[in-house]
Amino acid sequence: MTPYILHVGIIIILFSILSLSLNMAVGMAGLVSLGHAAFFGIGAYASGLMMLEGLPFIVCLLLSGIITSLFGLLLAIPSLRVKDDYLAIVTLGFGIITVIVLMNMGITGGPDGLTGIPQASVFGFDITSKPVYLVFCVSILAVMVLTTSRLKASKVGRAWAAIRDNDTVAMFMGINIYYYKILCMVISSFWAGIAGSLYAHYTGYINPMTFGMQTSIMILAMVVLGGIGSIPGSIIGAAALVILPELLRGLEANQGIFYGALLVAMMVLRPQGIMGRMKVTDIFARGGS
């Protein structure tokens, strides 16, 4: 395999982790986020900074997930008070603020970001070569897919589904909706933080613009494209939206024309996504606001 294909493969896996983590919130619990890239960024910066301080990669990886989930906890508070389009806007605001903060803080390197993030190694083994790193990322995705499908089929998953369908009804059913919403945000942001860490050590360089609104929208588009609530869908959506721009390379900045039109067309023609069996309209029945 050429380095180029390996590179695209690694990016697909990273975005699969991101879209699956967002899908956990959107598809499983009905919590929409337009600021998911902020978690990605928080994980990347946390990991990058810790590694620059000399902590070993595997510790950074785990800690960045945990640190990011603390921010998830922070964002979970508004998600208890607003929902649907309003929640989307709150998370959008959170995402924008995160980027502005990253831009203006000294420790994060401002607009220039962090450079020279050390390469990754696990228990002394160097995993920086592209094939090895791809395998490493795939195994993390595999762990995530396994735990997520477990979770989906468990009591937690059923509680999330009830909240997604109608949180008022869920509350009357005796489900502690606050607990489950917070849990969802925490787990979802944990995985986004992990993706951030993997990304930081893969590129060795990060800057705030990578984690802005465009990326958040792209992750949401992956979820929507693949099918809201579908685990394989998230991976297919990620692959599609990573590969599509590669294929449209010649168009450079004009990709947005296709990408934007695709989003509109998806909503109008096939809101259930590629893999979705349920219609998005079934998932988000109107009303109850």
Partner 1 sequence: MFWQQALNGVVIGCVYTLVALGYTMVYGILGIINFAQGEIYMYGAYGAVITLGLTGNLTLSVLVGISLSCVVGVLLERVAFKPLRGLNPLISLISAIGASIFLSSSARFIFGPDERPFPIHFASHMYNFLGVDISDMQLIIIGASLLLITLLYVIVNHTKNGRAMKAVAMDAEAAMLMGIDVDKTYMFTFLIGSALSGVAGILMAIYYNTTYPTMGTLPGLKAFSAAVLGGVGSIPGAVVGGLTLGVAENLGAAYISSGFKDAFAFLALVLVLVIRPSGIMGSKR
Which residue ranges make up the site for partner 1 (CB under 8 A)?
A: 32, 34, 77-78, 81-82, 84-86, 88-90, 92-94, 96-97, 100-101, 103-104, 217, 220-221, 224, 253-257, 259-268, 271, 280-281, 284-286, 289
Tell me the pairing of strands 125-126 and 121-122. antiparallel
Nearer to partner 1, 89 or 138 (CB): 89
Q: How far is the CB of 100 from partner 1 (least distance, A)?
A: 4
Angle made by CA atoms 87, 47, 199, in degrees to the nearest 5:
75
What's at 88, amino acid-wise? A
Nearer to partner 1, 93 or 131 (CB): 93
Nearer to partner 1, 10 or 228 (CB): 228
Q: How far is the CB of 50 from partner 1 (least distance, A)?
A: 25
**Element spanning 125, H or E:** strand 125-126
Q: Is 62 exposed, middle or buried (0-12, 13-18, 19+ CB in 10 A)?
A: middle
**Element spanning 126, H or E:** strand 125-126
Three-class secondary structure of residue 223 per DSSP: helix
Q: How far is the CB of 90 from partner 1 (least distance, A)?
A: 5
Nearer to partner 1, 164 or 201 (CB): 164
Q: How far is the CB of 287 from partner 1 (least distance, A)?
A: 9
Q: How far is the CB of 263 from partner 1 (least distance, A)?
A: 3
Nearer to partner 1, 58 or 251 (CB): 251
> Residues of 187-204 as b/e, b for ≥16 C-beta within 10 angstroms?
bbbbbbbbbbbbbbbbbb
Q: How far is the CB of 103 from partner 1 (least distance, A)?
A: 7
Nearer to partner 1, 60 or 92 (CB): 92
The count of other CB atoms within 10 Å of the CB of residue 81 is 9
Q: What letter does residue 206 receive in the DSSP assignment?
A: B
**Element spanning 96, H or E:** helix 84-104
CA atoms of 56 and 51, how far apart (whole Å): 7
Nearer to partner 1, 6 or 263 (CB): 263
Q: How far is the CB of 281 from partner 1 (least distance, A)?
A: 5
- Backbone φ and ψ for 187, nearest 5 degrees, come out as -70, -45
